[in-house]
Structure 1
Amino acid sequence: KNTMAELSPTAGESNYSQDIQVDEKLVPKKGLSLCSTRYGIALIIHVCNFIAAAQSTVINITMVAMVNTTDHQFQFNGSTEQLPGGPNNAPDSLPAEGSIFGGQNALWERWGPPHERSRLCTIALSGMLLGTFTITLVGGLISQTLGWPFAFYIFGGIGCVYCPFWFILIYDDPVSHPWINVTEKEYIISSLAQQIHVSSQKQPLPIKAMLKSLPLWSICVCSFGHQWLVAILITYTPTYISSVFSVNIRDNGLLSALPFIIAWVIGILGGYLADFLLTKNVRLVTVRKIATFLGNFPSSALLVALPYLPPSYITTMTFLTLSCGLSPLCQSGIYINALDLAPRYSSFLMGTTRGLANIAALLAPTVSGFLLNQDSEFGWRNVFLLLFAINLSGLIFYLICGDAVVQDWAKGRKLTRL
């Protein structure tokens, strides 16, 4: 006889050790929405990602100032190609950031009703875009007026101030949260309970099965291709604008930041669109693949077309803005797909897949800088063609092998009483 006591809200964390599958027909009465605790948690994670992105991207903005001066004052002296691979050869993120995203996924496993999970995750992840926008916009100004070290002091200080709020306001699940509304708590628990197979036993990671899982590998490969795209957009957008139009550093900051604020808006709207499609009985795997396709193919195709068009300020900025703006639609696709495949191991998988994908953030600037230095005439064409090839390969692999149902190796053994 199956043990059902663990589904009780009083069971603590054990009632969240689960395999979650979306069942569009069983949706409980909706709890509080925008002013709810779960959306507050999404906002707190949004700020966390804002800080993480700003801190990892600031090196791209201050690199030239570090090399070109010794008195800590920013003096942009023209060419941005004097460093190996350009001034932005430092990666925009490190693989160690995978732990941040793994921890976030563990929260959504317990806080995110299946029909709201896309929007909650995209609200949280979009903080990275806002952080990139902010540091791109004000990083150069801070370096010019205060000196480049202050860019690190300011955003590092913001992170220190933020940490206590995380420790005070974030809880593992609705059951343990002291201030959550009762209606909302019941809504979240009932949403998850309808799709749960519970096991309180600690089970080892099925490493061998994971390594053989094509849906999991498709997430890794496609995420790698998308992160290559993101790395080029963040690292080389300022350089491209400068090299093509010889725009000064102040104007360059404004122009370079514009695509990221557009991306911030589209990323959040994409999450709402994904959840809307689910309410219309569109299959979950279809929603994930549509979001992933729209976040990859148009963005890389727009970039690869740039070198073949006559130089036009308006056309270039339009293409860059659209490319960057559409890219975060992947947040509703591959970046939360691990939660569909294996909710029990989602935090580990999210951290691992994101960490592997972020290797692209290390390789893309280095390889692209080499291509630009080797061929001054066709350098940008080669950079964008390579980007398109890597991005398209990962996308095709995901469209063929991607899935959105709980995998056999991720299903817990049900407890029985003799």
Structure 2
Amino acid sequence: MSTGTDVKNTELNMSMDDNLSMTKKQPSKKGLCSTRHGLAFILQLCNFSISTQQMSLSIAITAMVNHTATSSQSNASIERPPTDYYQDYWNETLKEFTAVAPTYDWSPEIQGIILSSLSYGSLLAPIPTGYVAGVFGAKYVVGAGLLISSVLTLFLPLGADAGVAPFIVLRVIQGIAQVMVSTGQFSIWVKWAPPMERSQLTTIAISGVSLGTFVVLIAGGFLCQAIGWPYVFYIFGGIGCACCLLWFSLVYNEPRNHPFISSSEKSYILHAVAQQDSLPDWSLPIKDMVKSLPLWAIVVSYFCLFWQFSTMMAYTPTYFTYVFQANVRDSGIFSALPPLTSYVCVILGGLLADFLSSRKILRLITVRKLFTAIGVLSSAVVLLILPWTKSSFSTTLALFVLCSSFSSLCNSGALISFVDIAPRYAGFLRGLLQNFSYISGAISPTAAGFFINQDSERGWRNVFLVTIAVNVSGLIFFLIFGQAEVQHWAKEQRITHF
């Protein structure tokens, strides 16, 4: 027999259902002016800051070492970068560096270790970071990581003066702090991103990585040449500190707590997110995760895709410096073009992926595999051609741009699939996957440095061939075992899972 309370509850539930149904039909602020898109652009700025701090050394190291520009290639038929002051100006630049900032005798092997050191300390940090962010919220985890990384960036010039070991230690600690940003942010999208907008929101945020890489490469060379390489770290570390103020002021873990969000947009997000079992949980189905082939497919993809990303980001400026003897300013400008196109392609790829899946043109898993396949296979073809174009600068630059553009499509493929299969554990899984990406990031530049040090002529070709082999292997594994449906172990709450 119904009571008065039951009747009231029933009426309340019906009213809420009606409101949610109306909100679902007419989602509020579906453009870039919505609060959730504003959050995506704030995260883009945070990723921009972290990326500039990660890439600062890649451009600055060409000025920090006093032998990077040496090259045995004297073939007059090689097409040079389009500059009028080429070789003479390079020698003058080296003298300016000696006067403006100190240089160091770091061999290619030492340089590879230093470039990889950012990943060394990050191997254990992503898993606990993702877990904590998933349970307690990402606001303070991401904000603290950005602040620590920015402050440490300011101290890197002092670390380099102190020696290789202190410099590596600072880079290791900085890597741990950056993990807090790159891992913790995905916990926000579990509560803020409607499933059909997940690709575009995450790719808008992630595109900050490419934008930051572009800016630091194109500006870093000018800074190194004009006022010295230490100011690369001072300026981008300071920008990161400023971003922290914006982050702590405007970001909230959930839509229900945001003071500026409209009630209609809040209802729309809450209703959309409620359709999936995404409530974070303290318990972890470890055994089921270990036995999950779809999860392993994403893990392998992360390792393989970040092998190429880490190698190209770390060594692109050095490649232009070594092969074409470009000075540090020109090397930065040329190296900045691939990330610029990647920035555009990441966003366009996310919009296209959401369009294909939301309009039911392709199944979600088909979209994920298609974008991953195009990204991997196209960039593999480019890398295969690259060693044979050393005589043409313009062709080489075009190939680098194409490689970066194609590989960026993977951000709408395998790299976002973990949110599809287990939204409940998105923070933890992002940490786990970051762990494998940092392992890859620690190995690949070191391996590249070894190949180049062993054979300066054939070393680059071996670097590209190994990258192709690793990337294609990961693609095959993902095509066979990858899925996009929520897995059974991510749907139920467990008590013990060990």
- TM-score normalised to structure 1 length: 0.86
2:326 is the alignment partner of 1:243 = no
Secondary structure of 2:316's aligned partner: helix
Identity %: 44
Match of 2:259? 178
Given that 1:259 and 1:321 are in contact with CA atoms closer than 8 Å, whether structure 2 keeps it comes out as yes
Secondary structure of 2:375's partner? Answer: helix
The correspondence of residues 57-206 of structure 1 with structure 2, limited to 5 A, is: 57-68=55-66, 73-74=100-101, 82-84=107-109, 86=111, 89-91=114-116, 94=119, 95=122, 96=176, 97-193=178-274, 195-197=275-277, 202-206=281-285
1:115 match: secondary structure:
helix
Provide the residue aligned with 2:151 in structure 1. Answer: none
Indicate conservation of the 8 Å contact 1:65/1:73, yes or no: no
Does the 8 Å CA contact 1:89/1:365 hold for their aligned counterparts? no
In structure 2, what residue type is equivalent to 1:377? E
**1:23 matched to which residue of 2?**
none
CA contact (8 A) 2:285 2:489 kept: yes
Q: Distance in 2 between matches of 1:87 and 1:196?
A: 44
Q: Which moved more, 1:322-331 or 1:99-108?
A: 99-108
Range that drifts further, 202-211 or 121-130: 202-211
Conserved 8 A contact 2:294-2:483? yes
Instruction: Decide which of 393, 398, 409 is 1:313's aligned counterpart.
Output: 393
Residue identity opposite 2:404 in structure 1 = C
1:357 aligns to what?
437
Rate the CA distance shift 1:74–1:318 in 2: closer, same or farther, 3 A.
Answer: farther
* Alignment partner, residue 48 of structure 1: 46
* Aligned 1:275-314 pairs, distance under 5 A: 275-281=354-360, 282-309=362-389, 311-314=391-394
Q: Which structure has the highest helix share of the two?
A: 2
Q: Deviations over 1:324-366 (max 9, x none)?
A: 1121111111222111111111011012102211221111111
Tell me, in whole angstroms, the C-alpha distance in 2 between the residues paired with 1:149 and 1:242.
20
TM-score by length of 2: 0.73
Deviations 1:247-303 (A, max 9, x none): 222222111111110110011100000000012212111111112222222113211
Q: Distance in 2 between the 1:87 and 1:206 partners?
A: 38
Letter in 1 for 2:249: I
Output the CA distance in 1 between the equivalents of 2:233 and 2:205: 23
CA 99–199 in structure 1, closer or farther in 2 if over 3 Å, else same: closer
Q: Which has the larger radius of gyration?
A: 2
Q: How many residues align?
A: 390
Return closer, same or farther for 1:198/1:45 CA change in 2, 3 Å cut-off: closer
Secondary structure in 1 matching 2:346 = helix
Letter of the 1:238 partner, please give it: P
- For 1:256 and 1:152, how far apart are their aligned partners in 2? 18
In the alignment, structure 1 residue 391 sits paired with structure 2 residue 416: no
**Offset, 1:65:** 3.2
- Between 28-37 and 218-227, the greater mean CA deviation after superposition: 28-37
Task: Give the Å deviation of 1:50.
Answer: 0.5
Q: Distance in 2 between matches of 1:72 and 1:177?
A: 52
Pair 1:46–1:289, CA change in 2 (3 A): same
The answer (yes or no) to whether the contact 1:91–1:365 under 8 Å persists in 2 is yes
The answer (yes or no) to whether the contact 1:28–1:190 under 8 Å persists in 2 is no
